Structure 1
Amino acid sequence: MTFTTHITDVPDDQVAITCDNVTISYGSFEAVKSVFLEVPRGKVTAFIGPSGCGKSTVLRCFNRMNDLIPSFSLKGRIIYEGQDLYEPKVDPVEVRRRIGMVFQRPNPFPKSIYENIAFGARINGYSGDMDELVERSLRRAAVWDECKDKLQESGYSLSGGQQQRLCIARTIATQPDVILMDEPCSALDPISTLKVEETMHELKKEFTIVIVTHNMQQAVRVSDMTAFYNAVAVEGGSGKVGYLVEFDETANIFNNPKQQSTQEYVSGRFG
């Protein structure tokens, strides 16, 4: 089976993360095959595609979250700051500090709003003004105004959308370079979704952001670049293998894609 991938060339000094012929397996099953991709620095890149095409699997490789699955293995290279993230000498804990993650459902710690921000920074050795860091992180995540008068209350006291922005603030507080977001708005109402999207627009001034989304309108609203993944059935009917079909500026993916399957997906003919 041959997989063709269409990639936009990004100058080396503007690349945040590179996938170099990445194949991801669980045991003997290849879940994602032969991904070549250059994620540009300081932009929002969206991963789109039907369920089961591997977009979240690829995203989770960027900060080695899939290491927690015993059967996981990776071939090829994922390069960040000139370093192959899967070399034996690389510390996955440090990778996760530099490349933070915001999950599908808000998951605040069972601590105060203040400690949700301070805890991660503290264990990562932050020695500056913690009050200032907490305020700055909450401001950058656009949730300070809702939190400033109740910092000692539980993070669970916030609404779902506020909790998700608290989780974004918690990620920011550890001072990463890249923020990964795996369907961060799928559990939120439209107003909360808009707030998170507005937050992304502000954050990309300082961070590289990669987001997985099933919402085509959201990809158009928030992303500069879009990668479309698809999946094909494996011979013998033992599942599907995901692959990267096309990667380009978001306007091109939605208005002038190079591949017919991309056109069919973004126009709602399948998926």
Structure 2
Amino acid sequence: MSNLYSQEIIEESVLRTENVDVYYGSHKAVAGVNLEIPKHNAIAFIGPSGCGKSTILRCFNRMNDLVASAKIHGKITFRGKNIYSNNIDPVKLRTSIGMVFQKPNPFPKSIYENIAWGARINGYKGNMNDLVEQSLKKAALWDEVKDKLRQSGLALSGGQQQRLCIARTIAIQPEVILMDEPCSALDPISTLKVEESIHELKRNYTIIIVTHNMQQASRVSDYTAFFNAKSIEGGSGKLGYLVEYDRTENIFQNPVEQATQEYVSGRFG
């Protein structure tokens, strides 16, 4: 079980994990993850089901706090501060590290209020109309909805709803945006629009995306982390771990580990 990441990753790190283990009750779900997430890049987490991709992703903004049995060992730092310290407010943390979920979940409000609501409750004092417009533009949705901002967000198509959720996340002005399989429920055209949004967003944000789509990972990410899982001897369940982490072109064209090569070439099993 190796935790490899390239020495080329020397850009400014915004997030770092050090020997992170994740437990659900007495079951260790993920072991020994070491990662550095460079600023203003897109990072893809790939690997088979049950290998810990989403579990690690949810550690970055403490969404696992909502699971009573979850425990985190090791250290995760954001801007050099341990995010699991007692003096860190997880609700405030999530304004800096936003999240887009697998299934679009717009609020039952107007398109405008979907964007404005979170910013308003977080004390935004600027021009709200400008914030709504800019957030929708960054999510590649403005041209499609600019004439129907007072209509319900629930009336949009699935792909538009997902981009609305991205815009809603942008509006709270985070530094990092986590995406947990954001395109798994979308058609190819909607998927392409979300991917276009990711390319635009990483100019100003750090993006971490969990995806089962190898082509998507190769298209949108600058770095890729490959996770795998192994059966636990004498017990039930699987243990997830980080196999290899490097620039995306190296992971897909010249990986170090045989398991990585087998996975990205479709021979994994």
Same fold? TM cut 0.5: yes
Q: 1:83 aligns with which of 81, 84, 88?
A: 81
| 2:136 aligned residue | 138
Q: Distance between the aligned counterparts of 1:246 and 1:16, measured in 2?
A: 19
One-letter code of the match for 1:132? Answer: D
Q: What is the SS of the residue equivalent to 1:42?
A: coil
Q: What is the SS of the residue equivalent to 2:168?
A: helix
| 1:250 aligned residue | 248
Q: What is the SS of the residue equivalent to 1:254?
A: helix
Q: What is the SS of the residue equivalent to 2:179?
A: strand
Q: Structure 2: where are the runs of 5+ without partners? A: none
Q: Structure 1: where are the runs of 5+ without partners? A: none
- Write the deviation string for residues 133-178 of structure 1: whole angstroms up to 9, x where unpaired: 1011001111001111110100011111111000000000000000
| 2:91 aligned residue | 93
Q: 1:265 aligns with which of 253, 263, 266?
A: 263
What are the within-5 Å matches in structure 2 for residues 1-271 of structure 1? 3-9=1-7, 10-11=9-10, 14-270=12-268
Contact kept in structure 1, 2:259 and 2:268, CA below 8 Å: no
Q: Distance between the aligned counterparts of 2:205 and 2:192, measured in 1?
A: 19
Count of residue correspondences: 268
- Write the deviation string for residues 162-199 of structure 1: whole angstroms up to 9, x where unpaired: 11000000000000000000000000000000000001
Q: Distance between the aligned counterparts of 2:99 and 2:207, measured in 1?
A: 10
One-letter code of the match for 2:171? Answer: A
Shift of residue 8, structure 1, vs aligned partner: 1.9
Q: What is the SS of the residue equivalent to 1:152?
A: coil
Q: What is the SS of the residue equivalent to 1:18?
A: strand
One-letter code of the match for 2:135? Answer: S
Q: Distance between the aligned counterparts of 2:13 and 2:117, measured in 1?
A: 31
One-letter code of the match for 2:27? Answer: F
Shift of residue 269, structure 1, vs aligned partner: 1.4
Q: Distance between the aligned counterparts of 2:105 and 2:226, measured in 1?
A: 28
Contact kept in structure 1, 2:15 and 2:38, CA below 8 Å: yes
Shift of residue 79, structure 1, vs aligned partner: 0.5
Q: Distance between the aligned counterparts of 1:78 and 1:196, measured in 2?
A: 28
Give aligned-pair identity as a percent. Answer: 66
Provide TM-score, normalisation by structure 2.
0.98
